[in-house]
Structure 1
Amino acid sequence: MTAPAPAHPTARDRRRWAQYLVDERAEARVYRDLAERRTGEERAILLALAEAERRHEAHWLALLGGEPDRLPRPDTRTRLLSFLARRFGSIFVLALAQRAEARSPYEAEPFATAAMAADEKIHHEVVRGLAARGRRRLSGTFRAAVFGANDGLVSNLALVLGIGATGVGSQVVLFSGIAGLLAGALSMGAGEFVSVRSQRELLRATESNQDADHVIPDLDLDANELALVYRTRGMSESDARARAHEVVESAQRADRALPFRVEAHRHTVDVDEHEIVGRAWGAAISSFLFFASGAIIPVLPWIFGMSGTAAVIVALALVGVALLITGATVGILSGASPLTRGVRQLLIGYGAAAITYVLGLLFGVTLG
C-alpha cells in the first residue's frame, strides 16, 4: 500500500524521494548482479530480493508522479556495492549488503509504508543467511589467514622494536626480524596443521556410520535400543521411539538393512562441519604465507637500509596501515563496523609493540 503523498510536497521531500528511488534501483541491480554468479536456491533468493526492491522503487516513483527529469546519483555505499557485485560477487559484497540493509531509513520516513520498513528488516535477515553460507565456507582458511597476518605484524613489530630499543646495530635488528619471520611462520603453519587435522579427526570420530545397519532386521520390534540412538542425536523420547519402531518394522518387512542415520535438529546450509574447520594443508599453508607476509612489513625499513628513529617510525606507519586493513576486513566479513574493528586491531598491535619497546629500554642491553 502506497503512503499518501502530501498535497504540496516540498522540494526537500521530492529530493529525498528521488534519492530513495535511485538507491532502490541500484540495490536491485546489486542483487541481480550477484544472482548472475549464483545457481540454484541462492540465485532464486537474490532475484526475489531484487524484485522486492523493484516494488519499493515503484512506491517512490508513484509519489514523484512519474520519472523525474533529473535524478541524483545513488549514495556512495550503494555504488560501492554495485561495483563489487559486478566484478567480484564475493562474500564481501553480501557482508556489506547485510550492513546496508540494517541501516534502512524507512522506519523514520513518514512516506514509507510499514510494509516497506518491515521488508527491509526481513531483507537484512535474508542477506545475513546468504552471507552466513559464505562465512562458513571461508571460516577455516580465513581464520588461519587473518590470525597469521596479524600475528606476523604484531609479533615481529614487537620483536624489532624491542631489540632495537636495547641499542643494538641495525644489522642485528634486521637479522632478528628475519629470524622471527621464519620461526613464527613455521610455528604458525605447523600449529594450524596439527589443530585442523585434530579437529577433523574429532569430527570423523563423532559422525554416524552404517556399522550397525545390518543387524536392524534382527531387533525386537517392541524392545530395542535403537530409540536411544536417535535420542543421542537430539530427538525427543517419543519421536525417537516412533522413529525406531518405524525403521525396525520397515527393515523386517523388507528383510534387509535400512540406514538409520539421522540428522536430527541439525541446522544445514549446504556446508558441513568439515568445511567450517577447513583443510589441514590449506590452513597450514595459508597461516605460513600470511604470517610471513605480515611479519615482513615491520622489517622493510631495515631491509632498505634505514636505521634508528626513522626506521621505527616507518615500521610503525606501515604496520598501522596493515592492521587497519586486516581489522576492517574482519569487520566487513563479520557484518560489524570496519572502522571499529580496524581501530581495535591497531590499538592492540601498537599496545603490544609499546610494551616490548619499553621492556627493551629498561633492559638496555647492548649486544657485542
Structure 2
Amino acid sequence: MPAQDLTLDNLTLRFGTFTAVDGFSLQVPAGRMVTLLGPSGCGKTTTLRMLAGLERPTSGRIVVGGRDITAAPTHERDIGMVFQSYALFPHLSVADNVAFGLVAEQVPAPERASRVQEALGLVGLGELGSRRPAELSGGQQQRVALARALVLKPALLLLDEPLSNLDAALRHRMRAEIRALQQRLGLTALYVTHDQEEALAVSDEIVLMRAGRIEQRGSPQQIVREPANAFVAGFIGQSMLLPAQVAALPGGEVAVSCGPLHLALPAPAALVSGDASESADAAWQLAVRPWALRLELGDLAEVLAVRYLGHQHEVDLRLPDLGDCTAVVPEPAGFVPAAGARCGVALHPRGCALVRA
C-alpha cells in the first residue's frame, strides 16, 4: 500500500490519576520521517503504542490516510512496527520470522515467499533466510525486525528505540541505512528515541516531548538553532543557560549581554511581532552551545582543566560573574589554552539563542 498521512487529534491517555499523554496533536505528511524525542517517561513510546493499538486512548483520534483507526484492532491498522527488543522468534528461521505477519494474513505461499525474499533483499539479508536469529549479529537481527515490518507493505511504519541495543559504531551505520531505506521507499514513519543525535540524523521533523506534551516541533535545524524555551535549549545540544540582558537595536536585532560577554542576535519573534507580554525588559536567558564559546588570547577566563577527546578538546573555564562552564574546541584546533592559564572568550552567534527565563 502507498504511504499514507497520519493525524493525531488531541490524543490523551490516562492511567488512573496519572496522565501519560496529554492532548497530543500532530500531522505527519505521507512519506515523511518524524521523530518523537524526549527524556524517559515523557510519553513518546506510549504515543507509539496507541498508534499500534497496544494501548487504547482515553480520548482523541488516530487517523491514517483519512481512515479513523482509533478503535480498530491491531491487525486491522495496516501498521508495521519495529520493537526495541526486535521480538524475534528464536525457534523460527529468518525467513519464517519475516513471513509471520503474512501467514497471519493468510497470504498464499508463493506470494509469501516472493515478498519475504524481496523484504530480505531490501535490508541486505537476501542470503540469510535459512539462519536462526541466534546465528546473527545484533545489526542483522535489527534488519530482520525491519524486514518483518516492511514485508507487510504498511501505510505507516513505527520504530520504537530500534537502535538502543547496538554498539555506538553500529548505531551510526544502521541509522543511516534506516533513513536511506525510508527515503527510497517513500515510507511514512514515526520514530521514537531519547538520543538527540540519532533524532537529528534521521528526521524530517522532530517533536520534542515533556510530560506527555509537545514542547516544540520543527526541522532538526530549527530545534537546534531556535529553541522555543529553556527546556528545549537544555535538552538539545546540552546548552548552557546564562542570565542575559537584552536591548533593542536597529534593523531587527538585539544587543545581548551576559556578564562580560556581548553579542548581537536577531530579535526573538515575540519582540518582532510586538507582543505586549514580551519586552526587552523581560527576563531572558542566553542558550549557549559549548562550541559557541570561542577561545582566544586574553585574560578574561581562568582555565580549570583541558581534556583531549580525539575529535575535540573540552576546556573547563571560570568566567567572572557567570561561574564555571565548558567550551568545546573541535580538531584541528587553532588555539587551546593550557590548564592553569588564562584566555579570552567570545560568543559565536550561530551557537546562541535567546529564550525566556
> Smaller-chain TM-score range?
under 0.3
- TM-score, scaled relative to structure 2: 0.27
Which has more radius of gyration?
1
More strand, by proportion: 2
When normalised by structure 1's length, the TM-score is 0.26
